[in-house]
Amino acid sequence: MEIKLLVPIAFKQTEFANDENVIVLAGDIGGTKANMSLCKFTADGMEVVKEKRYVSKDHVSFTDIISDFINGFPNPQKVCLSVAGPVIDGKVKFTNLSWQIDRNEISEKLGGSPVTILNDLEATAYGLAALKKEELFTLHEGTNETPGNIGILAAGTGLGEAGLFWDGKSYHPFATEGGHCDYAPRTKQDLGILTFLQARHEHVSWERLLSGNGIVTIWEFLTQVEFKPKPQWILDAMKTTDPAAVISNAAKEAKCTTCVEAIKLFDRFLAIEAANMILKFKSTGGLFLAGGIAPKIITMLDPVTWKEIFESSGRMKHLLNTVSVYVMLNEKAPMLGSIYYAGLNM
């Protein structure tokens, strides 16, 4: 059965297995969680056999998770993993986790099954093929519908960035580590945030602000440098709950003016880095916001702010205005990308 793709990714095949059942192990592994999926491909499509979510820091190594997950099942015939970090020669050392994953080690553990390891944003790019139109929210509607390169920007535990090169017929995903490029201030307040961060870090990247920890950093700057109010109930909640979630939820419910300001700054910084990506990649095919944060604060992502940032981004503002920006509402995109890569590209 030929697969219909939302975005025409340049997969090697257009159909899943058509002569026998193929068992695939897919994973989306990050600094916070490891989502695992066991799937069966047939001529009729794909069926999920088992899914499970693990807390990454609760396990010494990824191989321990594999052992637990496939217990009672035969070894998979294909393995594709999405990982949060740069993949070099089939190996990855996580940016926000003390693990290392080696393709050869996993293959040996699984009896020689072929293993592919993708950067999580590269996997997200492949995952665009599996999304439905209703799983995209238009944040900024561009004026141009001409196909072209695509950019993906994902704020979550860290900041991931990837692109898809348009060859005139289909898209070719590629990974980057652009989230670790230098933070670039625009205003006096932005400079103050840079100074605040330089006292903490040797290098100040965009990830220091566009991530869960980044939301907390912005809050700390507002309360410690600009002396904005910090309600005691917020401080108490932060002791038992993820501080970034406390700030985000209080902002969405308009219960804390400092939290609202923190998320507005986060939104503004996200728009600035999105504009940077569009210009660097010439992403006339669109910019997609992935990751765990954007869908959770979608009501606070302000289209007016994004339009203002695009309009004030220099001599290429006319190009920025042509580009549509979408929020990916399906947080399983990296997993879907891994599954589709295994089924159509291995």
Q: Mark whether 114 and 166 lie in a shared domain.
A: no
Contacts (Cβ under 8 Å, ≥6 apart) of 60? none
| CB 152 within 8 Å of CB 171 | no
Q: How much of the chain exceeds pLDDT 90, in percent? A: 80
What is the per-residue pLDDT for 21?
77
* 111 φ/ψ sector (left φ>0, alpha ψ -120 to 50, else beta): left
Q: Mark whether 319 and 341 lie in a shared domain.
A: no
Per-residue pLDDT tens over the stretch 159-173: 999 999 999 999 999
Instruction: Quickly state the pLDDT bin for 19 (edges 50, 70, 90).
Output: low
The 3-state DSSP class for residue 217 equals helix
Per-residue pLDDT tens over the stretch 232-242: 999 999 999 99
Q: Mark whether 272 and 340 lie in a shared domain.
A: no
Identify whether 137 is part of a domain.
yes
For residues 248 and 96, the model is more confident at 248
Q: Mark whether 286 and 336 lie in a shared domain.
A: no
What is the per-residue pLDDT for 305?
97
* Torsion, Cα of 283, 286, 292, 293 (10° steps): 90
> Residue 83 above 70 pLDDT?
yes
Identify whether 151 is part of a domain.
yes
> Residue 94 above 90 pLDDT?
no
Q: How far is CA 105 from the centre of its chain?
A: 26
Q: Mark whether 170 and 51 lie in a shared domain.
A: no
Identify whether 3 is part of a domain.
no
Output the domain CATH number for residue 83. 3.30.420.40
Instruction: Quickly state the pLDDT bin for 43 (edges 50, 70, 90).
Output: confident
Q: Mark whether 117 and 137 lie in a shared domain.
A: no
| CB 71 within 8 Å of CB 38 | no
Q: Mark whether 72 and 188 lie in a shared domain.
A: no
Contacts (Cβ under 8 Å, ≥6 apart) of 240? none
- Domains contained in the chain, number: 2
What is the per-residue pLDDT for 20?
65
Identify whether 9 is part of a domain.
no
Q: Mark whether 118 and 156 lie in a shared domain.
A: no
Report the C-alpha gap between 336 and 222 in whole angstroms. 38
Per-residue pLDDT tens over the stretch 300-340: 999 999 999 999 999 999 999 999 999 999 989 999 999 99
The 3-state DSSP class for residue 53 equals strand
Global confidence as pTM: 0.92
**What domain range is 94 assigned to?**
22-128+332-345
Q: Mark whether 196 and 220 lie in a shared domain.
A: yes
Report the C-alpha gap between 271 and 325 in whole angstroms. 10
Q: Mark whether 175 and 297 lie in a shared domain.
A: yes
Instruction: Quickly state the pLDDT bin for 33 (edges 50, 70, 90).
Output: confident
Q: Mark whether 224 and 142 lie in a shared domain.
A: yes
Q: Mark whether 122 and 166 lie in a shared domain.
A: no
Identify whether 16 is part of a domain.
no
Instruction: Quickly state the pLDDT bin for 147 (edges 50, 70, 90).
Output: confident
What is the per-residue pLDDT for 300?
97
